[in-house]
Structure 1
Amino acid sequence: MIQPADIAASVSRRVLLVGTASLALLGAVDVSAYAQDGLGTAEQPVEIHVMANEAFSTAIQETEVAEFNKHYPNIKVTVDGVPYVELLAKMMLDATSPTPTYDVLIVDDPWTPQLAEVGALADLKSPEFAAWTASDYDWADFNAAPLAASEWKGVQYGVPLRSNMLMMFYNRALYDKAGVPHPTPDLTWAQYMEQAPKLVQDTNGDGKVDAWAVDTYFVREPLTPTIWQTIMNSNGGKLLDADGKPAFNSEIGVAALDTHRKLLEYAPPGALAHGYTESLQAFRQGTVATMFQWGSVYRSSAVDPKTTTLKPEQVGVQVMPVGSVSAGAHRGIWSGSVSAKSENKQAAWAFVQWLSSKEGEAFRANALGTFPARKSTLASKPQSDWLVPVYPALQFAYDVSAKGEMWRIRDPRSDAAQQILADEIGRAMAGKTSSADALNAAAEKIADVLK
């Protein structure tokens, strides 16, 4: 457990490393008091501001901050939620301001390079931050895939706070009704596509189809290409080649996009307009047998009666189907970063550090269903029964993602590249162009962007 005293002890150890003359100069300085200076006091609390995606900002403010303040009562935390489509632009604007408002930025997976290149983020392994890091924080305990999301050019600019992976959810009852065997991590894309027509069914015998095989991202939006990319990655395809040039407009890439488009044939009516919200609603209402979606929605889709009609025993979760090379997954990590211009770096790091510590991670997993990034957490028995099947599936997904480099483009211009992919994948989904033409157009545009 990370406590202010741990940080003070860390600083004390570092102070002991200075020369005898320097120690003499310190005289009667209270090192413990010095270490906690940036953590506030009851008389003079420190205030930090956090910018986060509005999808989970309220949960952070109401649940995570409240728990954090049990350990750090003198740090006042205000979390501001921003819609996802506006978040990166607002982060860039604030971080490059001479007097930024925010001390902590909760950054999406592909954004670290862009923010780091403009000097917006602090190096969390610098000597300054190392002095504020508890001895039992254990950097090596993080799984490689989520930790690497906030690394750029050898510098660690963040730590995983909301570790997400694109996964396969399935409704056991609908599989049983259709007489189709439940999916396993060995299920291939070819097998899944053979089974899909059987999962489009009339479940109440009135002669009308009322359940479909799949729902996921089909609409034109930045996350829709992650479905195609995951299929491509599982077959050995890559977004970029070794020289950083587009490589996705290959035979493997085209076949993967054809598969993504074919899923529409087995999706509910109007699925071309479906993305995150619509696919979740369809699955939670029990009208689709499978959903390819971010794993962190498991709790709200299988456990919470306020948001789902399903129960944990009805819902399975695992990696996405297997291609010619491996199973599929896609990394989507939200990392906690400290603004390089923050005047309250120690308090900001105390907040981010506690949330990503072993204790903080376990608390958030059980209280909110936030997925852990630490190997020790995933290897442990979770406090909540509903997490028991989730932990091994998530660990497998991390391993698959790391091995196959299953993530979005890593470049300061990654957001622009993702928007291009969204445009062209969206055109292909809508039938306005072929898969090959869409990917060729995207490759040409992205090559110019990445120059």
Structure 2
Amino acid sequence: MMHSSRLTRRSVIKGGLGLALATTALTTLGLPLPARAAGKKVIIGAFADGGLTPFKEKIIPLAKEKGFDIEFLEDEYGVTLEKWFADAQSGAGQYDLYLLDDPWVPQFGAANVLEDLGAGGIDATDKDWIGSMIDMGYWPPQQGPRVKGFENAKPTLICVPFVGDLQTLTYRNDVFTGGAPKTWDEVIAKGKEGVAAGKIKYPVVFRGVTGNPIVTSWYPIFLSFGGSFFDDKWNPIFNSAQGKASADFFVGTMKQNTASGVVEFDSDQEGAAILGGDAGAIIQYSGNALKADDPAQTKVAGKLDFGVVPKQEKAIAQMGIFIAGVPKSAPNKANSIEFLKWYVSAETQAKLSEAGSIPVKRSAFGIAKPGNRLIPVALQQLDAGALPRPRTPDWAKVEELLGIELNKALQAGSGGGAALDTAAKQVKDYLTTAGYY
């Protein structure tokens, strides 16, 4: 899954609270209807992403067997946020379901344009949920800081996890012969041995492009060093001692042990480095990771394995999932909620796991034959630790400011801590202007 939004999302419109669940009825006059006419229509809006291929190929046919008539509309990632937000705000009613990137939930939540799915019958208390995933569907969030205007609001389930995704480690098993490296120091030390032995060109690879790419690559290192982004009043604290140590390690030690052009690397370049046999290790989302088992896409098939991200103090990854919301303007609202209930059931999630996607229910991770070998590792990572990005409508701007400064330090090969100080001031100024304090 590609998480690379560069959009600034500042404007939120707060509307009145309301729930209008509509039901539909079919009249057959005693005659059989054509299959599509008899189906329960659900119009799904999604951004084009390989992570949804198993859903399209395996789950949509199952939904049809259950009487759902799924219309699946895809757009490029870069246009979907603005397009769907405009649809929701205007009440145009072009979609029944949005498959959102999870950082977008706060924007839709603050604008009050999505249905209360808990009131619609989605059981968020089911112990089978991956807790960290279902928590991402609430607005305002159940834990952590809240934006102004929502300090005392009751958390409402406006989205449900749809396809799980998070960062894990991909590593060369002929370089790290004792299994997945447990620490960042081990990544570097054994990676250097692999370089000396002529097996790889550099120990590690990552994304260095300014904005979302570099922040996404730095994020698990930041978390592993014990860093936190904000305090409970939205004051930036990512430039703590732990944060600065992680940034100095990232722009210094890691740059010294990666490709010379890493400051310009995005997903394509880092993917080519690990799949082409040049790099020893990488932290990445599942869409890229699963190419490791395709001989048509890698020169080192059989030499790439998966593991939990390395730790300094902890082993925590960034989590970013597909998450579904029903707009209040949905023309087939009742059908959409019925579809979601069916889709998030343990039975359907097991089918999703068999098809090769990371599920959102714990039981689906434990099936006899998951569709790929990353799925059990993903559960290990979820249990070790995985955190979403901060739940604010303004995360894209925060990420942009931070990413610019990290990229400057990466170019210099030093000064990571100072870069965080600069970014923290910029973020504080921006959030002050936006009315956070």
Distance 2:26 2:297 in 1: 41
TM-score scaled to structure 2, two decimals?
0.80
Instruction: Map 1:333-352 onto structure 2 (within 5 A).
Output: 333-352=321-340
Residues 1:118 and 2:102 aligned together? no
1:254 CA drift (Å): 1.2
Residue of structure 2 in register with 1:23 after alignment: none
1:196 maps to 191
247-256 or 148-157, which deviates more: 148-157
- Find the aligned partners of 1:408 and 1:380 in 2 and give their Cα distance: 29
Does residue 322 of structure 1 match 2:316? no
Give 2:410's aligned residue: 429
* Counterpart in the other structure of 2:204: 214
Q: Give the conservation status (yes or no) of the 8 Å contact 1:39–1:45.
A: no
Is 1:397 equivalent to 2:381 in the alignment? Answer: yes
Per the TM alignment, residue 421 of structure 1 is displaced from its structure 2 partner at its CA by: 2.0
Aligned-partner Cα distance in 2 for 1:54–1:231: 29
Structure 2 equivalent of residue 155 of structure 1:
156
How far does the alpha carbon of each residue in 1:211-255 deviate from its partner, in whole angstroms, 9 at most, with x for none? 321112221131421332322222221001122210001221111
Higher relative contact order, structure no. (Cα contacts within 8 Å, ≥ 6 residues apart): 2
Deviations 1:134-179 (A, max 9, x none): x9x9732111111112222221122212211111111112445xxx
- Distance in structure 1 (CA, Å) of the matches to 2:250 and 2:26: 51
Taking a change above 3 Å as real, the CA distance of residues 89 and 202 of structure 1, as seen in their structure-2 partners, is farther
Q: Which residue of 2 aligns with 1:413?
A: 394
Unaligned 5+ runs, structure 2: 1-21, 141-154
Q: What letter matches 1:272 in structure 2?
A: V
Q: Measure, in 2, the Cα distance between the counterparts of 1:296 and 1:371.
A: 10
- Residue pair 2:88, 2:329 contacting (<8 A) in 1 also: yes
Deviation at 1:264, TM superposition (A): 2.2
Q: Tell me the SS of whatever aligns to 1:49.
A: strand
How far off its partner does 1:44 sit? Answer: 5.1
- Mapping of 1:81-96 within 5 angstroms? 81-83=75-77, 85-96=78-89
For 1:93 and 1:430, the matched residues in 2 are separated by: 38
SS across alignment from 2:321: strand
Is the 1:162–1:333 contact (alpha carbons within 8 Å) kept by the matching residues of 2?
Answer: yes
Q: Deviations over 1:98-143 (max 9, x none)?
A: 31322211111221111111122211101xx11xx5x9x9732111
Greater percentage in helix: 1
Distance (whole Å) between structure 1 residues aligned to residue 51 and residue 43 of structure 2:
12
Which residues of structure 1 form unaligned runs of 5+?
A: 1-33, 205-209
Hey, what does 1:12 align to over in structure 2? none
Cα separation, partners in 2 of 1:87 and 1:76, compared to 1, 3 Å: closer
CA distance in 2, matches of 1:393, 1:99: 42
Cross-structure match for 2:45: 51
Letter in 1 for 2:201: A
C-alpha contact 1:235 1:323 (8 A) present in aligned 2: yes
Matched, 1:292 2:271: no
Per the alignment, residue 447 of structure 1 pairs with: 428
- Give, in whole Å, the separation in 1 of the partners of 2:47 and 2:230: 28
1:441 is paired with a residue whose SS is: helix
Alpha-carbon deviation of 1:356? 2.8
> Contact conserved, 1:111 with 1:415, CA < 8 A, in 2?
no
1 CA distance for matches of 2:359 and 2:379?
9
Whole-angstrom CA distance in 1 between matches of 2:216 and 2:271: 16
C-alpha distance after superposition, 1:392-433 (max 9, x if no partner): 42223213335xxx3211112222222222222222222298
Give the match for residue 130 of structure 2: 143
1:95, CA displacement in angstroms?
A: 1.6
Output the CA distance in 2 between the equivalents of 1:357 and 1:351.
10
Question: Structure 1: which amino acid aligns with 2:384?
Answer: V
List aligned pairs for 1:368-383, cutoff 5 A: 369-383=356-370
1:108 aligned onto 2:101: yes
Shift of 1:365: 2.5
CA distance in 2, matches of 1:64, 1:79: 15
Asked if the contact 1:218–1:271 (Cα under 8 Å) also holds between the matched residues in 2, the reply is yes
Which letter does structure 2 place at the counterpart of 1:246? P
CA contact (8 A) 1:214 1:290 kept: yes
CA distance in 2, matches of 1:432, 1:266: 11
One-letter amino acid of the structure 2 residue matched with residue 165 of structure 1: L
Q: Percent identity?
A: 21
Give the number of the structure whose alpha-carbon radius of gyration is greater.
1
- Secondary structure in 2 aligned to 1:370? coil
Give distance in 1, aligned partners of 2:136 and 2:392.
12
Kept in 1: contact 2:350–2:367 (CA 8 A): no
**CA distance in structure 2 between the partners assigned to 1:248 and 1:372 by the alignment:** 31
2:180 matched residue in structure 1: 183
1:361-407 per-residue CA deviation (whole Å, 9 max, x = no partner) reads 2222232x2112211122333344x43xx3442223213335xxx32
Aligned in 2, Cα 1:56/1:331: closer, same or farther, shift over 3 Å? same
For the pair 1:244 / 2:234, whether they are aligned, the reply is yes
